[in-house]
Chains A and B, each alone.
Chain A
């Protein structure tokens, strides 16, 4: 008997297709709005010291009107001096970098030199969450007149914006990686002008480093407490002296910090490609984020902000972690303070090593004040809604 094209071939019971269709419509209706709300940009209110707000498409015009066209904040002093780039949000599930960059943008005034800040380097990654991680979509911090909400995204570019993943990803530095890593900005350097969205973002950042003659570039990250490269400055070999001076400063300020040389055979990462292919001194900073780890308990906004997790306390007692972890946890304010202290020290030491690359600033957010009073002093305005 000849088989015909028919719903019966799919072994559905009577009425099942209609039922499934109605269920899909209902689920799309209730969840669609929720997922789409993640495409709204986070509120960032620059200080009066802002000279110019650009978009990354300034360095690669084909990024205009794409989800990779992130904001670039330029603070320029009246005097010429050093040029520094600070990158937050390369991995949107590592919020300390994003928040440290935001606090700088909202408070800092530059008197000499130029400071470029990209708070959300992989903007697309802020529009979704990693499946199976069950992370919250947002978290809030206290501002002076209420709560400021921020998105907590994914390590990778949204597959809605870049899909499908190749089976294996051979990145622009010819390193072979698992397919999903094609959406990891910190594996895509030096990028490609005609490549995927992630590679174009990486290429535009490289262009910024070259055209703006950036002397020092700092990529802000976080890692899980079970990861060995943590509470660390990862440095390109040309930035070794700068990193060593900064480590000593940080230790004097009470932040435990270790030095990690950028592995020469690990390509596609910022600290390797920025340093190899441009004249910048490339630095990557890592703090410890419990909400990022595989051992985490229930994911929640509190876990992101307070950084307390009983699983990690137990893991620390078992000697499975690379940072001390007790009931106090490692709160976001401490992680952000560590980043801010490192940035301040790096900029200061850059001037000590190369006086022509001096940056003079005012109202640099005090790490000690942040540790003492929290975020309230540095975030003036609350979000109007979640």
Chain B
């Protein structure tokens, strides 16, 4: 059986179950993986299904605990208080507000290398402000999704580059300026493209009307303490402090949630908060488990190697096109996987170019994988944060900025020899 056939059948089974039978995406992926194993003669392949299913355990824990943290902030009234604060600060200056919201949303991504963390934390803080200033719900979600992706590729922490660097023995040094040169123009363009027409400056009376519509809550410093704790611990992740640098994101979010509960234990049932957060996150977590199984079986049946080889077989003129198509597409299973599986061979295929510039540009392309369904982590969580049920509506508004990012990154790759003289 040719290596591509089990993969093709797995994709058909997945679409049949997800579209035809309206099965949950996570379950459809798991069953397609099981089908792939059976078709290719590996039997039930339980070991592989479990191994693949656990592949995203860390990501799953980050998402679950970040959701718990944000739900607890919502219950304590901190989100509303913060929205009021930001509105009062920026209501007259819409561009200042937009750029501040872009930077605010990018920040956790910059220090964790994860778009999901950015969208679920400061993205959730920025979205009510943007909506109150007139931005539609889906455009707000698109705004924070794109900000999350830019945060993921911005310095100081770009895990995609680190993964590619590990594959070609490139130390993670000298990347700040190339990454900033990629991210800053994109951040400006995305902010204006998505937000300029939607957000309007407010008068004082409009501001008071909006603030009056927010639930009344505490506005003392105490309610911000959990956020301060999480921000401090996130920053400590990049330090060489022996204990604080090794806490891991799940524990940091859980500590933030627990502190919030201790401060508001009279009006908050922490177990209920965790249950509500998990109920919301469960379908997405199931997708990650299903995707893990899918990749494992795809590799087991030879499909992964076949895909990598197909793109590496492209003639030099089409190689850049192959990068632009394959890396975001592979991001449908995982942006980090895309960086490792495709990014490393692509860097090696361009061995005569500057590896720092190449990996920076490829990370911007791979990062777009977080907008690729069925996982589309950035788009899906952004939709969840603004309360939009259909995340495809959000992705539609991300399409133009994403294409622009793709073209910009490819230009960065092609202009590598010239840019190498600057950086």
Interface flags, A305-348, vs B, CB<8A=1, else 0: 00000010011001010000000000000000000000000000
The CA of A174 and the CA of B306, in the complex, are separated in Å by 38
The answer to whether the Cβ of B219 comes within 8 Å of any Cβ in the partner chain is: no
Min CB distance, A260 to chain B, in Å? Answer: 10
The answer to whether the Cβ of B55 comes within 8 Å of any Cβ in the partner chain is: yes
Which residue, A6, A129, A166, has most C-beta atoms of chain B within 10 A?
A: A166
The answer to whether the Cβ of A58 comes within 8 Å of any Cβ in the partner chain is: no
Provide the residues of chain A in CB contact with B247, threshold 8 Å: 166
Min CB distance, A168 to chain B, in Å? Answer: 5
Q: Is B163 a contact partner of A178 (Cβ separation < 8 A)?
A: yes
* Partner among B157, B168, B250 whose Cβ is within 8 Å of the Cβ of A164: B250
Q: A9-B275, A129-B51 are in contact. Are A167 and B171 (CB under 8 A)?
A: no
The answer to whether the Cβ of A165 comes within 8 Å of any Cβ in the partner chain is: yes
Q: Is A167 a contact partner of B166 (Cβ separation < 8 A)?
A: no
Instruction: Determine the residue in chain B with the shortest Cβ distance to A167.
Output: B237
Which residue, A137, A266, A298, A320, has most C-beta atoms of chain B within 10 A?
A: A298
Q: Is B348 a contact partner of A320 (Cβ separation < 8 A)?
A: yes
B residues adjacent to A (C-beta < 8 A)? 3, 46-48, 50-52, 54-55, 58, 61, 111-114, 157, 159, 162-163, 165-169, 171-173, 237-240, 242, 245-251, 269, 271-272, 275-276, 278-279, 282, 292, 295-297, 299-302, 304-306, 308-309, 312-313, 337, 340-341, 344-345, 348-349, 351
The 7 closest A-B pairs by CB, nearest first: A131-B55, A178-B162, A164-B248, A134-B300, A134-B299, A298-B302, A297-B302
Min CB distance, A355 to chain B, in Å? Answer: 35
Which residue, A179, A228, A315, has most C-beta atoms of chain B within 10 A?
A: A179
Q: A10-B282, A132-B296 are in contact. Are A5 and B248 (CB under 8 A)?
A: no
The answer to whether the Cβ of A385 comes within 8 Å of any Cβ in the partner chain is: no
Q: Is B240 a contact partner of A170 (Cβ separation < 8 A)?
A: yes
Provide the residues of chain B in CB contact with A6, threshold 8 Å: 275
Instruction: Determine the residue in chain B with the shortest Cβ distance to A234.
Output: B169
Which residue, B112, B163, B271, B305, has most C-beta atoms of chain A within 10 A?
A: B305
Q: A133-B299, A179-B159, A320-B349 are in contact. Are A164 and B306 (CB under 8 A)?
A: no
Min CB distance, A24 to chain B, in Å? Answer: 10
Q: Is A167 a contact partner of B112 (Cβ separation < 8 A)?
A: yes
Provide the residues of chain A in CB contact with B242, threshold 8 Å: 194-195
Provide the residues of chain A in CB contact with B169, threshold 8 Å: 229, 263, 266
A residues adjacent to B (C-beta < 8 A)? 3-6, 9-11, 27, 30-31, 34-35, 129, 131-134, 137, 164-168, 170, 174-179, 181, 194-196, 226-229, 263, 265-267, 294-299, 311, 314-315, 318, 320
The CA of A9 and the CA of B247, in the complex, are separated in Å by 30
Could you list some 14 contacts between A and B, CB below 8 A? Answer: A5-B272, A9-B276, A27-B46, A132-B295, A132-B296, A134-B299, A166-B245, A176-B162, A179-B159, A181-B162, A267-B171, A294-B341, A295-B309, A314-B313
Provide the residues of chain B in CB contact with A11, threshold 8 Å: 279, 282
* Partner among A30, A131, A170, A229 whose Cβ is within 8 Å of the Cβ of B46: A30
* Partner among B114, B272, B309, B345 whose Cβ is within 8 Å of the Cβ of A314: B309
Provide the residues of chain B in CB contact with A164, threshold 8 Å: 58, 61, 246, 248, 250-251
The CA of A10 and the CA of B276, in the complex, are separated in Å by 7
The CA of A107 and the CA of B75, in the complex, are separated in Å by 69
The CA of A295 and the CA of B250, in the complex, are separated in Å by 33
The CA of A318 and the CA of B111, in the complex, are separated in Å by 39
Instruction: Determine the residue in chain A with the shortest Cβ distance to B272.
Output: A5
Instruction: Determine the residue in chain A with the shortest Cβ distance to B172.
Output: A176
The CA of A6 and the CA of B50, in the complex, are separated in Å by 29
The CA of A175 and the CA of B54, in the complex, are separated in Å by 29
Q: Is A34 a contact partner of B47 (Cβ separation < 8 A)?
A: yes
Q: Is B248 a contact partner of A166 (Cβ separation < 8 A)?
A: yes
Q: Is A174 a contact partner of B240 (Cβ separation < 8 A)?
A: yes
Q: Is B246 a contact partner of A166 (Cβ separation < 8 A)?
A: yes
The CA of A314 and the CA of B314, in the complex, are separated in Å by 12
Min CB distance, B305 to chain A, in Å? Answer: 5
Instruction: Determine the residue in chain B with the shortest Cβ distance to A171.
Output: B240
Extra A-B contacts (18), CB below 8 Å, given A5-B272, A228-B168, A295-B312: A3-B272, A10-B275, A131-B52, A131-B54, A166-B245, A167-B111, A167-B237, A167-B249, A177-B172, A178-B163, A181-B162, A195-B242, A196-B246, A226-B345, A294-B340, A296-B305, A311-B3, A315-B312
The CA of A133 and the CA of B302, in the complex, are separated in Å by 10
Instruction: Determine the residue in chain B with the shortest Cβ distance to A179.
Output: B159
Q: A164-B251, A311-B309, A320-B312 are in contact. Are A298 and B301 (CB under 8 A)?
A: yes
Q: Is B296 a contact partner of A131 (Cβ separation < 8 A)?
A: yes
Q: Is A294 a contact partner of B296 (Cβ separation < 8 A)?
A: no
The CA of A165 and the CA of B345, in the complex, are separated in Å by 25
Provide the residues of chain A in CB contact with B52, threshold 8 Å: 131-132, 134
Which residue, A31, A35, A164, A229, has most C-beta atoms of chain B within 10 A?
A: A164
Q: Is B51 a contact partner of A131 (Cβ separation < 8 A)?
A: yes
Min CB distance, B40 to chain A, in Å? Answer: 8
Q: Is A227 a contact partner of B275 (Cβ separation < 8 A)?
A: no
Q: Is A299 a contact partner of B51 (Cβ separation < 8 A)?
A: no
Min CB distance, A85 to chain B, in Å? Answer: 23
* Partner among A5, A227, A297 whose Cβ is within 8 Å of the Cβ of B271: A5
The CA of A3 and the CA of B167, in the complex, are separated in Å by 50
The CA of A266 and the CA of B308, in the complex, are separated in Å by 28
